[in-house]
A and B are shown apart, each in its own frame.
Chain A
């Protein structure tokens, strides 16, 4: 059974960097069949896919075009986790952030969610 445990601050100041981590148990971040995603949910935007990373003999990342200049998804194979960094946040980035494991593209397993509020 795969479990994803999210951690990170729930309050970030405008213009600063949002950082969240997703620790994986029951699978490995360097799996050749899974992809590791970040998704957020807000009343104004609904469910919004932010990006993913996956390993298929080498590492790949894909990002939502609208966030490409501000987002970074990284992996830590020693700790079996992946992380999200979103720079220069504004109140519009306030949302519940989820990490999710995808198999054949669909999101099979989800983290518990982290409400991140951008406010001074």
Chain B
């Protein structure tokens, strides 16, 4: 199985400041045949299911604010919230879908400082 790790476990950022979450996979999730990284990011708020933010490592899902961006390739990825808003307080997960079993990271909690 591909193991996903995330850092930090939690972070607190001032409103309007940048938040950066890292994700690492135990194997490359890059498919050379189409040059795509099979990596997604989700946001989860209490009592709700996860919400897809980013797929293909850097493609923003429709309706997701452009302050959310994804980067990275192969085994190292980053989710950046460029200017943290109060509504961004949540848990964030990365997930690989390059091969089954699809696996998630343990999550990163983002709070307001």
Could you count the A-B residue pairs with CB atoms below 8 Å apart for me: how many are there?
Answer: 49
**B42 contact set on A, CB distance < 8 A:** 107
Contacts A105-B97, A111-B49 given; indicate if A46 touches B104 (C-beta within 8 A): yes
- From residue A44, how far is it (CB to closest CB) to chain B in Å? 11
Size range of the chain B interface in the assembly? 20 to 34
Interface SS, B side: loop
Partner pick for A102 among B97, B101, B103, B107, CB 8 A cutoff: B97
Alpha-carbon distance between A47 and B97 when the two chains are bound, in angstroms: 14
A-B contact pairs, 15 of them (CB 8 A): A47-B93, A49-B100, A49-B101, A52-B100, A64-B101, A65-B101, A102-B97, A104-B55, A105-B38, A106-B95, A107-B40, A107-B42, A110-B49, A110-B51, A111-B49
- By a beta-carbon cutoff of 8 Å, the part of chain A in contact with chain B is 37, 46-49, 52, 62, 64-65, 98, 100, 102, 104-108, 110-113
List 4 additional contacts besides A47-B93, A98-B49, A105-B102; criterion CB under 8 Å.
A46-B106, A49-B100, A104-B56, A111-B49
